């Protein structure tokens, strides 16, 4: 069995479809300019449309056009807002596949680094069990909310971003980048569950968050250990984590900005071993994307154009 596999080789059953990873990259590199955002999404429209065909995201595309992800990602979850349930399910499904990739990432760390210290393998083995339980938990929560596995395309950008062949970078990407994002998202889900009086979701996610803090702590400790006495290696590792954090901020949707859809869970992250300096830096990195006004304006233009084009197509077909 070879060491190091690309994200394309993650094995899935027939319920799953993939999302083109280019979308996540695009989101993390958009400038704060309405026209550019519109042009980029217009260009990607055929790919986005093909990607949602036959999934539960298709109605969202038909309603909002190729910029539907901009609306979905950038607005905080609101139980009384438009398309509340599909948006909640889309997030839940995203978390579910994220857990799947976290399991695969932790498990591959055991195989890919046979010479790593035993304690590292023990930590990764424990994480495998935790992530396996998280998959089971989120599959049940997905069903609890009326969804099912495979209802949305799976983006493998988490695994992709976390797949370095250097153990320090791997744990920086998986255990600090990916797991740190999980802390932010789960704290937000607990708030949502409190607001909607969903005790089942609240308690389950609370336990998962406790596990994730432990996983981030593994990352904090192993980055230190793997780069001990090598400041240059530490710097490269931190640079890599910054890059991962930028991708995982979805153009500011996860940030410290007042209008952020997913705020940074500062207290949880401090408990997990992030320093105040690192969090300030994360706030700065994640806040760099286009403003919410820009994305809202772009989303509206994209929706209106899509509607106009659809109407024109229908008229053409009718005449």
Partner 1 sequence: MSERMYPGLQADERTVFAPYSAFEIPADLRELHGRYDVEATALRVRNFRYAEEWIMMMMGGWIATIPELPVKTGLGKVIWETAQAADEFGKRLPELRCGRKALDASEASNTAFSDFIQAVAEPESPPLTIEKLTGVFDVLIPHLVEIYELHNRETDAICDAPTIEILEDIIRRKHNHIQWGQDVLDALCETDELKQRRRDRADHIRSLLTASGGVTGVLETGQGSIN
Token reading at 3: 């060491």
Least separation in angstroms between CB 134 and Fe ion:
4
Nearer to partner 1, 128 or 209 (CB): 128
- For 10-13, which contacts have Cβ atoms below 8 Å and span 24 or more sequence positions? 10/101, 10/104, 10/156, 10/159, 12/154
Of 246, 234, 235, 239, the residue nearest 284 (C-alpha): 246
Answer whether 168's CB lies under 8 Å from 96's CB.
Answer: no
If one asks whether residue 17 binds partner 1 (CB under 8 A), the answer comes out as no
Nearer to partner 1, 55 or 286 (CB): 55
What is the widest separation between alpha-carbon atoms in the chain?
74
If one asks whether residue 121 binds partner 1 (CB under 8 A), the answer comes out as yes
CA-to-CA separations, 220 to 122, 215, 230, 245, in angstroms, rounded: 15, 9, 16, 15
How many whole angstroms separate alpha carbon 142 and alpha carbon 115?
Answer: 38
- Over the window 63 to 102, marking each residue x when it contacts partner 1 by CB under 8 A and - when it does not, the resulting string is -------------------------------------x--
If one asks whether residue 188 binds Fe ion (CB under 5 A), the answer comes out as no
Of 55, 72, 86, 131, the one binding partner 1 (CB under 8 A) is 131
Q: Which does 212 bind (CB under 5 to 8 A by kind): partner 1, Fe ion, none?
A: Fe ion
If one asks whether residue 212 binds Fe ion (CB under 5 A), the answer comes out as yes
If one asks whether residue 269 binds Fe ion (CB under 5 A), the answer comes out as no
E strands, 131-170, in order: none
Least separation in angstroms between CB 145 and partner 1:
19
Binding-site ranges for partner 1 (CB under 8 A): 1-2, 5, 9-13, 100, 103-104, 106-112, 114, 117-118, 121-122, 124-126, 128-129, 131-133, 135-136, 139, 149
């Amino acid at each position: 069995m070879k060491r190091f596999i690309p994200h394309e080789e993650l094995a899935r059953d027939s319920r799953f479809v993939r999302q083109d990873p280019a979308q996540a990259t695009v989101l993390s590199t958009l400038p704060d300019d309405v026209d550019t955002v519109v042009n980029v999404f217009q260009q990607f429209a055929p790919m986005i449309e093909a990607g949602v065909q036959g999934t539960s995201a298709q109605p969202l595309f038909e309603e909002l056009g190729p910029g539907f992800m901009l609306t979905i990602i950038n607005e905080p979850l609101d139980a009384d807002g438009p398309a509340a349930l599909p948006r909640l399910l889309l997030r839940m499904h995203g978390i579910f596949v994220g857990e799947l990739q976290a399991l695969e990432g932790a498990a591959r760390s055991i195989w890919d680094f046979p010479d790593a210290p035993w304690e590292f393998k023990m930590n990764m083995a424990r994480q495998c069990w935790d992530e396996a339980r998280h998959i089971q938990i989120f599959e049940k929560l997905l069903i609890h909310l009326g969804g099912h596995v495979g209802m949305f395309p799976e983006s493998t950008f988490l695994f992709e971003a976390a797949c370095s062949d250097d153990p320090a970078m791997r744990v920086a990407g998986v255990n600090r980048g990916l797991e740190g994002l999980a802390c932010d998202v789960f704290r937000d889900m607990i708030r949502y569950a409190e607001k909607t009086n969903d005790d089942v979701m609240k308690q389950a996610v609370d336990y998962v968050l406790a596990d994730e803090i432990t996983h981030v702590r593994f990352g904090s400790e192993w980055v230190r250990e793997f780069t001990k006495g090598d400041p240059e290696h530490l710097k490269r590792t931190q640079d890599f984590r910054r890059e991962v954090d930028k991708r995982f901020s979805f153009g500011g949707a996860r940030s410290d900005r007042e209008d952020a859809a997913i705020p940074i869970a500062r207290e949880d992250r401090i408990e997990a071993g992030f320093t105040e300096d690192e969090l300030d830096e994360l706030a700065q990195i994640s806040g760099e994307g286009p403003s919410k006004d820009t994305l809202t304006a772009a989303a509206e233009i994209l929706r209106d154009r899509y509607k106009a084009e659809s109407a024109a197509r229908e008229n053409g077909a009718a005449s």
